[in-house]
Amino acid sequence: AEALGGRPLDMGGTQMQILEKRRRVPDLAAVDKSLRPLLARMLAPDPKDRPADMAEVASWQLKGQRNAGGVGGGGLAWKALAGAATFTVLAVGGFLAWQLLGQGGSPATAPDPPVLAGRSDAPPVPSLQGVAPEPQQARPNETAASPQPPAGSFASERQQPQQPPSQRPPAPASSPAPTPAPAAPSQSSARAEAPPTLSPPPAAQIQVPPPAQLPPVAIPPLTVPPAVPPAATPPAPENKTATNMVDQPLAEREPRTPAERIERYIATYDGGACFFLWPTSVGDRRAAIEGFGSSAPPFVAFDGAFKRAQGFEAQISLRSITTAQCPMVDFLRQLGRGIDRSPVMQIGAFTMKSGDTLSGTVESDPKQNLAVLLVGDDGLVYNLASFTRREGGKASFTLKLESTAASGAPVRPQAVIALVSQAPLPSLAGPNPAPAGDVFPSLRQDVSRLGGRIGVGIKYFRIE
């Protein structure tokens, strides 16, 4: 009726005012008198007085026009005009009726969003956003009375009727016109289903993201790394990597003097198993080295390689050991540049006899732990902790040598090792004496766990 009168549809007022307007037929004075009977019937407050369906509206004509219309263009134009007016009225009436049914004494907030979601999403939303500022000015009192939920329901209720004005094709808004035509029947049919079925989805859509974000941050990725790998890696492979990590920074630093270059060459030379080089004095053109090993050929090869690399011959003293003492030599070789040669150890003699007294001293950092070991020709390792007295940075040890000469060899090599570490080495708390094959692999693990460099002092002597 408003469209035929050339006036905009009045969508203002509260819900009660809108319902009050619907209880009476609006003023149709501005409408063509030939259409007033039809519009008055279509806008009747009582649904029983309205046309039964759209077919009845489309077939309605005045008596004079029914006779004169025929098949001409006037009849078709009349039907199109009547259909457009009918659809507009039904859309508005259906919306108000739905509001009456869904009101129930308090504003229903849940059913409103589903109606918008159930209809075509693309066209209505932009048109409603363009009209949104006008209804927001009309509800300052309502929002003050109730917080967020009522305000959301009022916004949806006023956005809903905005679709019928978009059906005014003759007016400037021509794009939304085609969409309401198919949407009007769906609105009337979906108004009963919208509240129960579509009210949960908004809550479900809000609840879905938090569970979806929690699994990635859940405990599984945190429990896997610390479980077993740390326990599986401590054995032998870990020692080598740890000692290599200790050697790495030293190996990366380029030697600054000829003496440092020579020391680096000696420490990194690989002579194979049961082969260890202990430099006792290194200068720019001199090198005194003790070689610990069970055979001479590897040291002959080192002598030639050293001369070619450094340009002079090194003074090499071979310290021949037994196969049972090889675990000690392998332990020292694997430490490589992780050895700190600052501890100074001295013993009383190079050659002794069974029954002689072995005495010696070790000078080291008094703040660090000191362990003194004796490695016999039979491969047994003796912890000399009970024979060692320490005062400040100097420790002394004294013990009587008793050899059974079980090997039958005329010369029995012996070695005394001093180990200076930041903390006690747990492997030395075991049986005393113990086989070198058990002690030194365990010591290698202890050094790897402590990290850093370990102080070493070594002296070789023989029992004849």
- Contact between 82 and 38 (Cβ < 8 Å): yes
Mean predicted lDDT score pLDDT of the chain: 71
- Contact between 316 and 289 (Cβ < 8 Å): yes
Helices (H), 274-386: 297-310, 326-335
Helices (H), 200-274: 200-207, 209-213, 220-223, 229-232, 236-252, 258-268
Domain count, the chain: 2
52 lies in the same domain as 180: yes
Q: Is 279 part of any domain? A: no
DSSP bridge partners of 434:
381
Report the SS3 class of residue 56: helix
Distance CA 435, CA 420 (A): 21
Q: Is 70 part of any domain? A: yes
pLDDT value at position 327?
A: 96
One-letter amino acid of 132: A
Q: Is 270 part of any domain? A: no
Residues counted in the chain: 464
- Average pLDDT (189-202) is 43
pTM beyond cutoff 0.75 = no
Q: What CATH number did the domain enclosing 368 receive? A: 2.60.40.1930
For residue 29, the surrounding DSSP H or E stretch is none
Report the SS3 class of residue 328: helix
- Average pLDDT (5-29) is 75
pLDDT value at position 51?
A: 83
Q: Is 398 part of any domain? A: yes
Domain boundary among 206, 223, 256: 206
Q: Is 58 part of any domain? A: yes
pLDDT value at position 405?
A: 55
* Band (96; pLDDT cuts 50, 70, 90): low
Q: Tell me the per-residue pLDDT of 54-83, one tens digit each, with 9 for 90 and over.
A: 888 778 765 445 544 444 444 555 555 556
pLDDT value at position 82?
A: 58
pLDDT value at position 403?
A: 67
Q: Edge-to-edge, what's the strand order for the sheet holding 357-363? A: 344-347, 357-363, 394-400, 388-391
Choose the weakest-confidence range: 95-109, 193-207, 245-259.
Answer: 193-207
Domain boundary among 180, 206, 232: 206
Q: Mean pLDDT: which of 44-48, 140-144, 145-149, 195-199 is highest?
A: 44-48
Task: Give the DSSP letter of residue 26.
Answer: P
Q: Is 273 part of any domain? A: no
Q: Is 310 part of any domain? A: no
Task: Write down the residue that tokens 């030395």 correspond to.
Answer: 428
Non-local (6+) Cβ contacts of 373 within 8 A are 381, 382, 383, 384, 416, 417, 418, 419, 428, 439
200 lies in the same domain as 330: no
Domain boundary among 152, 174, 206: 206
- Average pLDDT (140-163) is 42
Cis bond upstream, residue 433 (ω within 30): yes
Give the residue numbers spanning the domain of 450: 323-464
For residue 400, the surrounding DSSP H or E stretch is strand 394-400
Task: Give the DSSP letter of residue 24.
Answer: S
| 75-88 b/e (C-beta count within 10 Å ≥ 16 → b) | eeebbeebebbbbb
- Average pLDDT (117-127) is 42
Distance CA 255, CA 266 (A): 13
| 366-399 b/e (C-beta count within 10 Å ≥ 16 → b) | eebbbbbbbbbbbbbbbbbbebbeeeeeebebee
Q: Is 363 part of any domain? A: yes
pLDDT value at position 50?
A: 83
pLDDT exceeds 60 at position 174: no
pLDDT value at position 92?
A: 56
Q: Tell me the per-residue pLDDT of 210-229, one tens digit each, with 9 for 90 and over.
A: 544 544 444 444 444 444 44
- Contact between 349 and 323 (Cβ < 8 Å): no
